[in-house]
Amino acid sequence: MSRRELQIRPADTPSEELTKILERDGCVVLKDFASKAEIEAIQSDLRPFIDTSSQARSDFSGLKTTRTGALMARSPRCRELAIDPRILSLVETFLAPYANTFQLHVTQVIRVLPGEKVQMPHRDRWAWSQLQDPSDLDPPVNSVIAPLLTGVETQLNTMLALTDFTKENGATRIVPGSSHLPDSAKLPEEAYVSAEMTTGSMLVFTGSVFHGAGANMSERERIGLNIDYSLGWLRQEDNQYLSCPPEIAKDLDPKLQALLGYAVAEPSLGYFTPPLPAGEDLSSPQRALQQPSTPVRLDADGRPEFVE
Ligand SMILES: O=C(O)CCC(=O)C(=O)O
């Protein structure tokens, strides 16, 4: 396929116009989405959590990458960002053919450290297609499930640049126009565009477009704030976490705990982050059963604190 440019638009571009770009390219950059002051405020909410997040430990998640979760519990500024009208309007317009309610799918800071290698190219909708491990297996995903999602946009993703994103420091690599290729597509290096953007700009991309984090060949960290929205119906009918919360589920048979949802559906569905203490990111749900956490509440500034 020939290389297509990554489109850049002002952050207040109407969602109908952005939706047309997303349908064609699967991605677009919203320039200067957040001001310098807003980025500094987000950084001040998140820095203690980012600094204590340990490095991921898989080829896919990265060996020199940290991932920091629970952003809605931890950061008043991230809560505002998640319901920013510009994004909610775009989510509702772009995903309208597939659902009439939406939910947060991922809230995560992805920090790519110096020396990190390039991430395996993937589609985020493969979260529901049992992405295979090792990642060079062919096909890369379950060949029964993955085709069922062809033609369904499962989600819309945002990556707000908390630092500049450059080709050198690991800006997301993306292939505009790749949404309709088969899952087994082998994309030539020339098809990838580095989503270079200045701090405060935002990459918006679909669950169908091929992408991955770039290698960080610089001396500095690259930090992106990733908030993804998915179709409201991609969940259990009976909300088992409320109907059978951890305090009760912890004493049940492990097979039943897993059926309730206290287990990860491979490769990644269902992990969680205890909001406190800092540094316990992306845990398996069984952890909520093994170590009942100390109750947490929000203080007057909206930040989580332990209840004495
Ligand atoms: O950090 C990035 O640039 C992209 C990360 C990504 O695509 C992922 O981890 O699924």
- For the stretch 64-105, pLDDT in tens is 999 999 999 999 999 999 999 999 999 999 999 999 999 999
Residue 61 Cα to ligand 1 middle (Å): 8
Q: What's the rounded Cα separation, in Å, for the pair 209 and 169? A: 21
Tokens 């069984």 belong to: 286
**Which of 266, 136, 149, 248 is CA-nearest to residue 207?**
149
Residue 213 Cα to ligand 1 middle (Å): 5
Residue 214 Cα to ligand 1 middle (Å): 9
191 in contact with ligand 1, CB cutoff 6 A: no
Atom 9 of ligand 1, nearest CA residue: 61
Q: What's the rounded Cα separation, in Å, for the pair 265 and 126? A: 12
174 in contact with ligand 1, CB cutoff 6 A: no
Report pLDDT for 2: 76
Q: What's the rounded Cα separation, in Å, for the pair 136 and 140? A: 7
Q: What's the rounded Cα separation, in Å, for the pair 57 and 4? A: 33
Give the number of the atom of ligand 1 that is nearest the alpha carbon of residue 214: 3
Find the range with the poorest average confidence among 191-200, 214-223, 271-280.
271-280
Bond prior to 274 in cis (omega within 30° of 0): no
- For the stretch 270-293, pLDDT in tens is 999 999 999 988 999 999 999 766
Q: What's the rounded Cα separation, in Å, for the pair 173 and 165? A: 11
Tokens 């060079």 belong to: 136
Question: How many other C-beta atoms can be found within 10 angstroms of the C-beta atom of residue 239?
Answer: 10
> All domains of the chain, ordered by start, with CATH?
8-231 (2.60.120.620), 240-294 (no CATH)
Tokens 């912890």 belong to: 250
Atom 5 of ligand 1, nearest CA residue: 213
The per-residue pLDDT of the chain, averaged, comes to 95
Give the number of the atom of ligand 1 that is nearest the alpha carbon of residue 172: 3
Give the number of the atom of ligand 1 that is nearest the alpha carbon of residue 60: 9
